[in-house]
Amino acid sequence: MLINERDTRHERLLQVANEMMTAARTAPKGKGIDIIEVLMVTGESINKLSKAMIEYSQKTGMKFITRDANNILQAEAVVLIGTKQKTQGLNCGYCGFDTCAEKLNYPNVPCDINTVDVGIAIGSACSVAADHRVDSRVMFSVGRVAQEQNLMPGCSSIFGIPISGSTKSPFFDRVFTPPASAEPLE
């Protein structure tokens, strides 16, 4: 039997994305409380996410999001990692409030322990991609629009990690090409 690498690339990259999701799930969590959510985006769902990113970019004026929207179209999968917001009862003050009880009056202020948990999960997932020599990049923009689209209900601090197994990583040395109707960069 002869198997050409190009014929099995997609399936292998989806397997890596699955392993990245496992790494995010098993990453250490503050106080051992698991509030991390992980989702894989593939196929037509990547196209829909890219379109939503372009719309968000135009709405907010954040032009780099259009670049990232075009960039994820070159990915085989995008792993989304976010967190549910839950105070940890440590009264650590890292969020800016003296106690977790005070912070509860401001539900849009994230608990710093939750934010750290997302960062550790992202690092664990990216290490899996690196171990498999798969190109990846952590993108705030993807996660922000995923949150706007409610792809991970109840989650905040969402980040996206697109992955690729192409000859050259599409996620570095990126050039922003504005859409024809976009205003020039300042």
The region that residue 89 occupies, defined by phi over 0 for left and psi between -120 and 50 for alpha, beta otherwise, is left
Q: What is the pLDDT of residue 171?
A: 80
Percent pLDDT > 70 in the chain is: 93
CA atoms within 13 A of residue 98's CA, in its CB half-sphere: 0
> Binning pLDDT at 50, 70 and 90, where does residue 89 land?
confident
End-to-end CA distance of the chain: 56
Quote the pLDDT of residue 175: 65
Q: Where are the alpha helices (DSSP H) in 2-42?
A: 5-26
Give the tens place of pLDDT for each residue, 59-86.
999 999 999 999 999 999 999 999 998 8
d(CA 100, CA 22): 30
Q: Domain coordinates of the chain in residue numbers? A: 29-164
Q: Check whether 148 has a pLDDT greater than 50.
A: yes
Contacts 24+ apart (CB under 8 A), 182-186: 182/58, 182/63, 182/66, 185/63
pLDDT given at position 92: 92
Is CATH 3.40.640.10 the classification given to domain 29-164? no
